[in-house]
Structure 1
Amino acid sequence: MIDEATIQCAKDVDINKILDNFNWERGHGNMMHCPSPQHGDSTPSCSYNAKNNTVRCFGCGKTFDTIGLYQALSEKVDGRVVSFPKAVEEVLALDNQAPLQGNATPQSSTTQYSHCNNSAKGNAYQTILSNSRPLTGYELNYLHERGIMLYDSYVYNGKVYTKQSIDKALQSETDAQKIQELNAIQSNGKFFEGIATILKKNKIQIKHNYWQGVNSIIYLIDYDYDNDYELQQYAVFLDDERHMAIQKTLDRAHMKKALGTSDFTWLAEGVENKNHKIYICEGMEDALSYVQNNERAVSLNSISNINSFMDYLDKHYKRMKKWEWVISFDHDEGGEKAKQKLLDFFQTYNQQHPKYPYQYSVCKYPDTCHDINDYWRNKVFNR
């Protein structure tokens, strides 16, 4: 049993900490969408009452204190049902956490990070790690908007519905019209197989990051340094101060490399295709788009890593005749310069190594698309 004093302490926690923890947006006049999992309002219908430290929805009539709000958002955002005692415990743990650097959001009580010293070497990736937390529904929606499905999903009338959410809704829904709508999504929606299993096989975990007020998604590679022979072979790459959070293992004990270098990430294991092509992308979303369409890809994570990638191809990559490298950079000045640089590299390398040449080409997609992700997104949503 939880005593009343403990419950009251949880209720006294600033409700904004709960909203920030789930990245629940507030608009003009502190209006926001209803946090209730049962209420999918299309326009903000909730208001924050600072005096009472509550949130009230004028649409469904519900009022949420900190505990109720935490329970509602845990289910609506994370798909996690939290009991009342557990919610009290986690709300109090949330309140007791140390403040983060910059404009970061408080962490959930289930994720512990050591906060970095701004003067410490490697401040950039340490700060990013300390300000990162597991992906939530909002970040999942961001990927959906990019045409990337972590989980099995349907695209219907321009919107993405995860198979899990539809199955869950069909089990509990009693309204005949709603059931008909759910069945229509299943029957008529365009089905996409999720790529979460492929990310897992490639040891990639997606995190949401707040760093210096910048809202972004980062991708952490969880490599086992002690048991990864390739990682140890290329440990020389790990001392460069260019590395950001993506070059840090999840246990924060080691820096990492992704199959040869710490500046780029492979997405290969778990992807079965017959094209024998590897698409070179500027960023992770572009690479994920290829994986979503059953193609192998490598993300440079930044176009500035092009030199490291060429060094890797020149000195470390074991060439296989059947594989062809396909350059798939953005349609902008930086992408064009990097493309030409890579083309020059391949040409020079093949002249110097005629017995072991690289096969290479350039991906041709419409100039109206800024990057390859735009192209795939248009295909997903039939634009």
Structure 2
Amino acid sequence: MRRLQCLSTAGLLLCSLATLAAAAYEPLFQNRFFTLSQNAELLCATSEQQFMSVEQLSEIIRFYEKNHPNLRQQAVAVLTDHTTQEYLDDLTDYREDCKTNALADLCVLEKYWDDRDAAWRVLALFYDTKTVIKRSEDQNYLIKQFDADHVRLFEKAIRKIPAFLRQSISKAKPVDNLNQEIADKPTAIQELILDAFQEDYKTSIWQDHTHPLTLVPGVGFRSQTVAQVFSGQNLIVFTVKEFDKAKEGSTYRDIDVQYLVDFRLPIVVHEIAHTVDNFHFWNGTDDLYFFYKYHKISNDEQIMKIIADAKLALWPSKWFEAFEYLHEVNDGRYDGNTQEKLAELLAQYILIPERLQQSAPVAYQWLRNQVFRGIEYQGYDRCSTPITQPLTWWQKHASGKLLGR
């Protein structure tokens, strides 16, 4: 397996620090600061509300870096790891510009993001939750990248996931023998698998064979246009332009609604749910390969019946009601594919639990007992102020856009 030396070294060091209990420093990845949010406060918010302040981020960074003299350098190497020459040249320039700065590594990260808030938030999230948020490997700079607004949203989404699930999804899919594993498949299938496989997984698996939950911008593979997770992975790729259509302020005449809160949150939680599916049963040692060759929630024979029998609730965002032309969507519900329906069940358990409990009581009970270990949530229906509103005549007939296409 190819690994970048700096990242392999960083991964080995960071993972070792995370498991040692030496009194001199705090172990990493404690999920101590970005705590689980079970109520509706993050849901009822716009993109400008309900995220940690820069002062709080600074406190988190200081907590983990205390008595860790080289930790920041190693972490920034992970968070700015790229293979394309354009990025490598940019990073060289950043280091040159920052070499006289007393906080040189943090300076590099700030220049990489072109924003202090984004840089500090990414670093704090990495230290506390083992999440990597980075830019795309786009050598031509054609892909719309994340900015501070997206990083704040990802913070909220991570806070909706229990710590034990965050830990279980920070695992890697071994790929050492992928070519041999698919050698007996038709050439077209081999090409499809290799085309779908993200290069990031060849370079950023750590030496202890783990891979942090990683969020990157990109372009959806084939028909996947908003966000996606490949089977057996925990790398989430977002097509930012499409993803941002769910942000507050958006008006859509085909569903007659204006968003008053940031409905990108359900999209992120849905994608994280795919990683929960991918790693729920994995023991951490068996090889995982593409598609259905290993045990997941969505291909477990008994659980598949629970999934099939469940009736999804309708989202208050009415998002899928705009996509009835897709064969996976039925009556406003994304239920035409077992993997997608499971991800929807998980997301609805977290974000619209009251509705899911009414529409699919058996699935709700199974999720509570078998996946979430008894943890329950309050959803969008608990918001004290409206989260959507109907369009005005002018919005509907003159300025409203189409969500579906």
Fold in common (TM above 0.5):
no
Higher strand share: 1
TM-score (norm 2): 0.31
More helix by share: 2
TM-score by length of 1: 0.33
Structure with bigger RCO (C-alpha 8 Å, 6+ apart): 2
